[in-house]
Chain A
Amino acid sequence: MRLELRGITKKFGSLTANDHIDLVVEPGQIHCLLGENGAGKSTLMNVLFGLLQADEGEILIDGEPVRLANSGDAVRRGIGMVHQHFMLVPVFTVAENVVLGFEPTRSLDRLDYARAREDIRSVSREFGLEVDPDAVVESLPIGLQQRVEIIKALGHDAQLLILDEPTAVLTPQEADALMTIMRSLAASGKSILFISHKLKEVRQVSDVITVIRAGRVIGSVPPSATEGELAAMMVGREVSLVVEKTAAAPAEPVLEVRDLVVRDDRGLAVVDGVSLEVRAGEIVALAGVQGNGQTELVEAITGLRHVESGTVRLAGRDVTNRSPREILDAGLGHIPEDRQRDGVVLSMSVADNMVLNTPRRAPFARRGTRNLRAVRDNAETLVESFDVRTSSVDAPLSSLSGGNQQKVIVARELSRPLEALVASQPTRGLDVGSIEYVHREIVRVRDEGHAVLIVSSELDEVMALGDRVAVMFQGRITGVVDPSTSREDVGLLMTGSVPAESR
């Protein structure tokens, strides 16, 4: 299928998410759409998939203008989408998910499961995508779930596949397998629109790379372009992925985790005997594909999740299974992974958010009564010194941009007396300026002699920021390496195998 977008424009209020985007995907081509978070990629894809309506411009399929009023239209036109957050019903079987919306039926509206299974098997055979049609989706590993998404799209006879950030949740090996699948799909004549912000994989698999920035197409280049060129196109200036920092001067251990076992909500031991030590004045970066126990490890350290066995010590004190309150008071700063969920209250003011975890501490309150003047003064000071862009400290936090919301959290955590800082995905979804700012602040905390634990699924961030890099896989630490270790070797550790040289 040949897809052409002409002058697609989409506005949300005063924000122009897509500004006259032109794009052509030829049959059998893997076309990559490269751009930062917030560049307008997802909006464009939602327009293309009928989930949003463009304000201007037209979509042509095989030269013919089409109107996509909803995603059903898009699917009928042969467009399939593999969403970043899978559009699968967890409690349904693979077969039920694949046929949903296009169900084969027998009399009385009954579902024809036999035909559904057969259809899946034939797609599986044709494209080499094995999966059990009767497996319940939530019991499948992430990689297989993604495969179900692809089968679902192919099952609906998609000629153009949109893959939205498909590797974000995959191990490097699973990602490689996906690349192979993409190539074989392209070889069989399917067109693929591949959305990513990861330079390496983009160059690896694409036939054409189109870069968008701030809602506009910056240009199309062949995959032979260097990473530096692509990065410059993405962010509009030469960026250094290197964080400016001096060599670490590690002192005594501050955050000590020993033989930690933690279970997730389903009762599985997702942290399975982790030992880790973070010293004063160093940054330990925890790498790994999402979902290998990092989240639960951080929750256990911060007191948000029950520790089954093992210990967590902070500055010499045993804080295992203490309440979040006690652990915060013991001097642990925490920048949570999902900041809007765990870090802030969007409907409350900037000032209140600045004291969210210290509301009872002097001078913010005395004998149960808050001192609102002290709360405001504190916020004024922090807004000033951490350069938070807000109309006022009384403005609700929801009125701030994502980057400034994160700055509020950083300011709050760093203004408390700290022993150690735990930061999860501290730069996820932020613009380049905010990323650099947060990185600088983290290094500053280290240089002030605190212990810092960073958890990130961005390998670049881990390698740039960490003084030591610990890699986590399936609930265990598979290795602690120097940041100068090659990406390939770290990638191997992320899959549980031990690289040759460190064996």
Chain B
Amino acid sequence: MTSRTRGLWDRYRSASPVTIALLALVLGLVVGAVIIVATTPAILNAWRGAFHSWGAPGHALKVTFDNVGAAYRSIVTGSIVDPPQFWHSVTTGRGWTASLTPLSETLTYAIPLVIASIAVGITFQTGLFNIGANGQAILGGVTGVAVATLVHLPTVIHLPLTLLAGIAGGVVGGAIPGLLKAYTGAHEVIVTLMFNYVASYFMLFCLLSTPLQLPNQTNAISRTMPGGTQLAPLFGTASGLRVNYGIVVALAVTVFALWLLDRSSIGFEFRVTGANPHAARASGINARRTLVTSFLISGGLAGLAGVTWVAGTTHYIDQNFLQGSAGIGFTAITVSLLGRNRPIGIVWGSLLFAALEVGGSNMQANTGIPYDLATVIQSAIVIFVATPVLVKEIFRLRALRAESVKVATAGWGS
């Protein structure tokens, strides 16, 4: 028995998670390419004509590669660096803003994503599924903006207080599923899913019917956060680069999460509970307290993600705040799974997914292909990461039935 399980374990490790993640990225891009091919008129027309004359298939192939290539090239140039532009800056010393904007944007988008994904990852580690990070982030944004705009304080305490208010808003959002699950057993998946909608309507309510609304407005739009409560651009407003001091918040959250999960007693209890709730109970871990704490921390961080985004970029919220494809909650779930719920993995995953989103917008601007393709690619990547065996089979790695993504959720477990 011993040698058998140990053998399995070693072999499982041999195709490392990083390898799997990279291969999943490749597969995700392939899926994206297939979708582009199947839906882009220019390509389809080229292929329609491909069988009528000699040489046309070659032409069709070229059209295909040109289109897909252009799309993916714009993703890269829009999110990391555009080499000609960069070379221009290096040689002439000018246009640095344009050269660095892609990277700056990727980092800007990665900031809230890191925080929200860590929020989701913490609940995953506890065996809980927080699908409500988006709603919690919305609440965090609303409370943060409220404190920033409706309270007048010196900057030194106003900014921290704004961030704390964001955390508090998220904590409320996390407390609802946490307490309901602990004291009534309500399944957190349904509660958090529904809560996302409740939070969105609550935000609309605040934007339309409370002093949070920009005075003399009928639209759903908030007052603007005063300068002292904003997270300033890292390189100054004059730089034109949006990357801001939120990056410090994201790093602090990462360090906190590393301590929490690896070094803290409560984090140990989270992980025991997540891996084996029965053993957790028998070991004297208070299941209720653990799950409520996990949800409170998770909600608080999600709220922080919301307020960090507002304070660092838009400085106000409107009816589109974190709505639809601008939502952060589902992306955070995918990032957390991609990063195997570990803080460092999540940071890398956030950078990748933020790059896909930023690059996706650039792709839309350059080629017209909608940036929603980024969401599809992200989801495909996560599906592949969640089924490593499938990836191994596709790439003819040592095929082996191994554990799929190690997260414990349940049936409706009443």
Contact = CB atoms under 8 A, between A and B. Distances in A.
The short answer to whether A and B are in direct contact, CB under 8 Å, is yes
Interface of A: 12-15, 38, 302, 304, 323-329, 334, 336, 338, 341-348, 352, 356-357, 359-360, 365, 368-370, 372, 389, 391, 395-396, 398-402, 404
B1 interface: yes
A325 B265 CA distance: 14
B94 interface: no
Contacts of A12: 4
B9 A342 contact: no
Contact of B282 (A13, A343, A352, A369): A343
Contacts of A389: 2
A348 B283 contact: no
B275 A334 contact: no
7 contacts: A12-B4, A15-B1, A302-B282, A329-B284, A342-B281, A357-B282, A357-B283
Main secondary structure of the interface of B (DSSP, over half): helix
B290 to A, nearest CB: 12
Contacts of A396: 9
Interface residues of B, number: 29
A12 B284 CA distance: 37
A389 B266 CA distance: 29
Contacts of A323: 284, 286
Interface string B263-277: 111101101100110
B283 A368 contact: no
Contacts of A328: 283-284
Contacts of A304: 281-282
B282 A336 contact: yes
A345 B1 contact: no
Contacts of B4: 12-15
A356 B6 contact: no
Contacts of A334: 282
B6 A391 contact: yes
A284 to B, nearest CB: 21
Given A326-B284, A345-B276, A402-B1, 10 more contacts: A14-B7, A328-B283, A334-B282, A336-B282, A347-B275, A356-B283, A360-B265, A399-B2, A401-B2, A404-B2
Interface string B1-31: 1111111110000000000000000000000
Interface in B274-325: 275-276, 278-279, 281-286
Nearest to B273: A345
Given A12-B4, A396-B9, A399-B2, A370 B264 contact: yes
A357 B259 CA distance: 20
Interface in B375-414: 406
A13 B272 contact: no
User: Which of B3, B272, B275, B282 has the most A CB atoms < 10 Å from its CB?
Assistant: B282
Nearest to A431: B1
A399 B268 CA distance: 20
Contacts, number: 94
B406 to A, nearest CB: 7
A359 B1 contact: no
B403 to A, nearest CB: 9
Contacts of A15: 1, 3-4
Q: Which of B4, B264, B283 has the most CB of A within 10 A?
A: B283
B225 to A, nearest CB: 34
A343 B285 CA distance: 13
A356 B8 CA distance: 25
Nearest to A348: B275
A302 B6 CA distance: 33
Given A345-B272, A348-B272, A369-B264, A14 B3 contact: yes
Nearest to B7: A13
Contacts of A38: 1
Nearest to A395: B6
Contacts of B7: 13-14
B279 A341 contact: yes
A399 B6 contact: yes
Most A Cβ at <10 Å: residue of B259, B269, B276, B281: B276
A304 B278 CA distance: 10
A334 B264 CA distance: 25
A398 B1 CA distance: 10
A398 B282 CA distance: 19
B279 A401 contact: no
A401 B1 contact: yes
Contacts of B276: 341, 344-347
In this complex, the member of A12, A334, A348 whose beta carbon has the largest number of chain B beta carbons within 10 angstroms is A348
Contacts of A329: 284
A13 B266 contact: no
Contacts of A326: 284
Contact of B269 (A359, A399, A400): A359
A417 to B, nearest CB: 15
8 A-B pairs closest in CB distance? A325-B284, A357-B283, A342-B282, A13-B4, A324-B284, A401-B2, A345-B276, A328-B284
Given A345-B272, A347-B406, A369-B265, A13 B284 contact: no
Contacts of B266: 368
Contacts of A360: 265
> Which among A304, A372, A399 has the highest number of chain B CB atoms within 10 Å?
A399
Contacts of B264: 368-370
Contacts of A336: 282
